[in-house]
Amino acid sequence: MAETLCQKHALETFQLDPAKWGVNVQSLSGSPSNFQVYTALLKPHERIMALDLPHGGHLSHGYQVCDKQKAIMLADMAHISGLVAAGVIPSPFEYADIVTTTTHKSLRGPRGAMIFFRNGVKGTNKQGQEVLYDYEDKINQAVFPGLQGGPHNHTITALAVALKYAMTPEYKAYQEQVLSNCSKFADVRITFKGIDGSRVEKVMEAVHIAANKNTVPGDVSAMVPGGIRELRLSHHTEYLEAKLRERIKWACKHSYQDVTFM
């Protein structure tokens, strides 16, 4: 069955022991997947501690500060899951209890999401008895029937294929290229003379680089954000680094700003 195969590929891709981790692959997208975890594991009035938006948080993360001990740790690796899958950056699975991810960003799969949760033995209680994680049923039930109806089997099938591809040497080479290309972006130093992410977004669009404005730490307004995020993953396959660098430079120059390259 496509769903079972997809779950198997998901655990294999992220090198997870099936005795310690499970995964739900039915979630329709990233925001619903986070809400499904909250629905499953939070009681009314319990709190979520999350990153602020400009610091890398997402609207679906919630904004309250948590001062409780023994909180559940959720890592939303939506942007970086492809890099994690390829093993080119550290994995959050070592630390997190729950890991959510969209499947259509760096993972390069169909639009959807996955919810990974810890399974098996959590620890021992004062009586020396084993305590087990109880996430699986709660999360599966929050997804269906809690917040969704039947699974989108066409998406799940496509995801099974994408995950299989994510285990190939070609995929690893591609993700290494993504990292390398990103370092070219990071080389671009924009000296602030009225420029902002919205303007650069427009100019980049004109040279066929899809990007969107994004807040970064220190910004005072989401309407005038200091960052951009590059979206079209095929750029990393299509363009050689030098060409990409040339285009960004051109785009920034045409935003009428000083651009220096390191």
Ligand X SMILES: Cc1ncc(COP(=O)(O)O)c(C=O)c1O
Window of 28-36, 39-47, 89-97, 116-124 that interacts with ligand X by CB under 6 A: 28-36
Q: Is there a cis peptide before residue 18, judged by omega within 30 degrees of 0?
A: no
Token pair, residue 28, equals 């329709």
Please tell me whether residue 257 binds ligand X under the rule CB under 6 A. no
Pairing label, strands 98-102, 74-76:
parallel
CB nearer to ligand X: give 177 or 212: 212
Window of 11-19, 24-32, 39-47, 132-140 that interacts with ligand X by CB under 6 A: 24-32
CB nearer to ligand X: give 78 or 139: 78
Distance CA 109, CA 155 (A): 9
Interface pattern 48-67 for ligand X (x via CB under 6 A): ----------x-x-------
- Contacting residue, 23, 41, 78, 84, with ligand X by CB under 6 A: 78
Distance CA 3, CA 153 (A): 7
CB nearer to ligand X: give 31 or 177: 31
CB-count exposure of residue 174 (10 Å: 0-12, 13-18, 19+): buried
Window of 74-82, 89-97, 119-127, 197-205 that interacts with ligand X by CB under 6 A: 74-82
Window of 1-9, 36-44, 71-79, 209-217 that interacts with ligand X by CB under 6 A: 71-79
* Binding residues for ligand X, total number by CB under 6 A: 9
CB nearer to ligand X: give 34 or 175: 34
- Contacting residue, 16, 25, 30, 142, with ligand X by CB under 6 A: 30
- Contacting residue, 7, 27, 91, 102, with ligand X by CB under 6 A: 102
Distance CA 7, CA 204 (A): 38
Chain contacts with ligand X (rule: CB under 6 A) = 29-31, 58, 60, 76, 78-79, 102
